[in-house]
Amino acid sequence: MAPEHEESGSQEVDAALESWRQGDCVLGEDWFVHRFDPAAPLTPESESIDLDGGTLVESPVAGLVVLTQTCDIVRSCFGPNARPFIEVAPLVAVDEEIFRQVRHGWRPGYAYIPAIAEQRLVADLDRTMTLEKGVVAKWQQTQGCDSDEDRRKFAQALARKRARAAFPDDFTKLAEKLHKRLKEKHDRQSPEGRALRSLREIRVKAAPSWGATKVSIFFWFIKDDSSVCPDESSWDTLCSRWLDLVKPAGRFNEVEGLVADLEGIPASEYVDSDQLDLDHLSSRPAD
């Protein structure tokens, strides 16, 4: 049995975390900690550490965001089913172009947080850190998501980071021209730019499979319900233009696609396809 003063302290932590939710943040200079190998430092921060300074390095960040699911945040940190830990990621500032791509869900290495969008801060999902809940209990809480929809999108961004497909290299090569066009036109004040910004996501299906010797590719360009394109013929024109950039080659013997909203794509097609994003299509790691 835990000493009475320890249980009392745990209850105070539990009470402090009752209002916290996944996606909530602490703002202001904070520190992210990671372990490194002194014989092979891989970041500027680890390279600056004295060889006698140990194997942990602290990096200043603009804040931290909670990644742990809400149900585990509010569960007690003591008792037989204790949940004493919280997982966080650092907040980083990105340029306007990257920020728009993150907001649109095209950069799975990051997550968009609506409440701090004005500061152009996003969650850097390539770095995570585990803390005891007592640390978080002392933070000044900033609510990250204002609605159920925002919280759902944040959770989906976390899931996509871990569950995204590993596309084969020859498909990445095949889609290079499409990737270039998406990047060039996405932020333009043109009909195509507005159409790209109104896409909810782009999905691709390989039949019979990505590993087959002959593969048919089908793109689904899924638009939001509040589409800005004036009519279906405009979407058809844009779809043809995008598909023309992905010419059949090698084992990819057929490339087709359609524009649809969520009601127009069969559930089986959605489940059997993989989401594209700019990181997927990059031949080198995204900046």
Cα separation, 219 vs 275, whole angstroms: 10
The answer on pLDDT for 145 being more than 90 is yes
pLDDT of amino acid 280: 47
More confidently predicted of 130 and 156? 130
Closest by alpha carbon to 198, among 235, 233, 161? Answer: 235
pLDDT of amino acid 46: 85
Cα separation, 171 vs 189, whole angstroms: 30
Mean pLDDT on 70-90: 92
Residue ranges of domains in the chain, CATH in brackets? 4-163 (no CATH), 169-281 (3.30.460)
pLDDT of amino acid 52: 63
pLDDT of amino acid 40: 86
The answer on pLDDT for 233 being more than 90 is no
Per-residue pLDDT band at 242 (split at 50, 70, 90): very high
Per-residue pLDDT band at 6 (split at 50, 70, 90): low
CB 178 within 8 A of CB 242: yes
pLDDT of amino acid 15: 94
The answer on pLDDT for 285 being more than 50 is no
pLDDT averaged over the chain?
A: 87
Spell out the alpha helix ranges (H) of 209-277: 232-243, 267-271
Cα separation, 223 vs 229, whole angstroms: 10
197-223 residue pLDDT tens: 888 889 999 999 999 999 999 999 998
More confidently predicted of 199 and 186? 199
CA distances in angstroms from 75 to 13, 17, 83, 130, 242, listed in the order given = 11, 9, 6, 16, 48
Instruction: Show the CA angle centred on residue 252, arms to residues 247 and 258, nearest 5°.
Output: 60
Q: Enter the tokens of residue 18.
A: 């009752």
Per-residue pLDDT band at 187 (split at 50, 70, 90): confident
Q: How many residues does the chain have?
A: 287
Mean pLDDT on 174-184: 88
Per-residue pLDDT band at 284 (split at 50, 70, 90): very low
Q: Which amino acid would we find at residue 152?
A: R
The answer on pLDDT for 236 being more than 80 is yes
Mean pLDDT on 153-182: 87
119-142 residue pLDDT tens: 999 999 999 999 999 999 999 999
31-75 residue pLDDT tens: 999 999 888 888 888 888 776 657 888 999 999 999 999 999 999
Q: Which amino acid would we find at residue 10?
A: S
